[in-house]
């Protein structure tokens, strides 16, 4: 699904430049759960922005579903991003004055899904995160954990090929964080590809594989030896 080869991203600073990514290479197969981890300044946010078509690399190549990012116009990138990718953010990025239904509907407003088909898709997505009873509640009235679960429902509503989760537990207490990670785990078991960016080792270990970045380079690409055990420990 994702093929990254010798990926580079430089940011100009006057007459010089800084390398945020310096020759990163890896692949992610359909149905994998992969974590990207690293300290502040390691390049993980830059990498996520490129993987999710929010930025372009300055060198190397990135192929998504068989097509290179350099082959697509900005309009094509936007269309693929809306149809094939779902996003979960640390700060939820929900419109608090709107209902849960209206928030989850937002990606469908930019799609070719007929209006008459939207209600079922929205209901199914909200049911998948266990909050059907909140469907018509104003989003501002939800707890932090519930807001993040609705953000996951919004990410799911277009049935994307991959879900990018950027520090999804960063603003949550441990119990709510465990619920959110449990939902991502269940989605992965149902076949969804998950790419998780985090600075927390115990959250990263929910994945089957961890990419460790340092100073813009891929330092390690290792399988999680026992992700099930890590998950069980987190839920205790």
More confident residue, 233 or 30: 30
Q: E strands within the chain?
A: 2-13, 16-28, 33-37, 59-64, 67-68, 85-89, 162-166, 193-198, 209-214, 217-223
Find where tokens 């709510």 sit: 176
CA distances (Å), 31 to each of 53, 71, 121, 192, in order? 20, 25, 21, 5
Would you place residue 236 in the very low, low, confident or very high pLDDT band (cuts 50, 70, 90)?
very low
CA angle, 179 as apex, 128 and 95 as ends, to 5°? 65
Structure tokens at 236: 């205790």
Dihedrals phi, psi of 38, to nearest 5 degrees: 170, 160
Eight-class DSSP state of 122: H
Predicted local distance difference test score (pLDDT) of residue 228: 52
CA-nearest of 134, 135, 133, 130 to 118 is 135
Predicted local distance difference test score (pLDDT) of residue 55: 94
The β-bridge partners of 68 are: 63
pLDDT surpasses 70 at 233: no
Strands, sheet with 67-68, edge to edge from the N-terminal-most edge strand: 16-28, 2-13, 59-64, 67-68
* Each residue's pLDDT tens digit, 15-50: 788 899 999 999 999 999 999 999 989 999 999 999
CA-nearest of 54, 84, 45 to 192 is 84
Predicted local distance difference test score (pLDDT) of residue 117: 93
Predicted local distance difference test score (pLDDT) of residue 202: 84
Would you place residue 226 in the very low, low, confident or very high pLDDT band (cuts 50, 70, 90)?
confident
Structure tokens at 194: 């998950």
- Across the range 205-222, mean pLDDT stands at 95
CA-nearest of 153, 145, 144 to 100 is 153
CA distance 236 to 230: 10
DSSP 52-95: TTSS--SEEEEEETTEEGGGS-HHHHHHHHHHHEEEEETT----
Dihedrals phi, psi of 56, to nearest 5 degrees: -115, 145
Ramachandran bin of 142, using left for φ above 0, alpha for ψ from -120 to 50, beta for the remaining angles: beta
Would you place residue 76 in the very low, low, confident or very high pLDDT band (cuts 50, 70, 90)?
very high
* Each residue's pLDDT tens digit, 44-72: 999 999 999 999 999 999 999 999 999 99
Would you place residue 229 in the very low, low, confident or very high pLDDT band (cuts 50, 70, 90)?
very low
């Amino acid at each position: 699904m994702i093929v990254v080869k010798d990926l580079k991203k430089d940011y100009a600073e006057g007459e010089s430049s800084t390398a945020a990514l310096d020759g990163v290479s890896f692949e992610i197969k359909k149905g994998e759960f992969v974590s990207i981890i690293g300290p502040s300044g390691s390049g993980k946010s830059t990498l996520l922005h490129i993987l999710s078509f929010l930025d372009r690399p300055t060198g190397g190549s990135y192929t998504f579903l068989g097509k290179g990012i350099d082959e697509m116009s900005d309009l094509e990138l936007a269309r693929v991003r809306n149809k094939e990718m779902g996003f979960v953010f640390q700060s939820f990025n929900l419109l608090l004055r709107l209902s849960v239904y209206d928030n989850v509907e937002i990606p469908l407003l930019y799609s070719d899904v007929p209006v008459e088909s939207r209600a079922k898709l929205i209901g199914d997505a909200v049911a998948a995160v266990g909050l059907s009873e909140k469907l018509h509640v104003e989003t501002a009235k939800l707890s932090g954990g519930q807001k993040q679960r609705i953000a996951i429902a919004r990410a799911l509503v277009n049935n994307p090929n991959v879900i990018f989760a950027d520090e999804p537990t960063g603003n949550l207490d441990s119990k709510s964080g465990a619920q959110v990670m449990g939902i991502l785990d269940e989605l992965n078991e149902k076949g969804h590809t998950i790419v998780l960016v985090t600075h927390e080792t115990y959250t990263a270990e929910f994945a089957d594989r961890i990419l460790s970045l340092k100073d813009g380079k891929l330092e390690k690409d290792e399988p999680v030896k026992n992700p099930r055990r890590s998950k069980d420990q987190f839920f205790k």
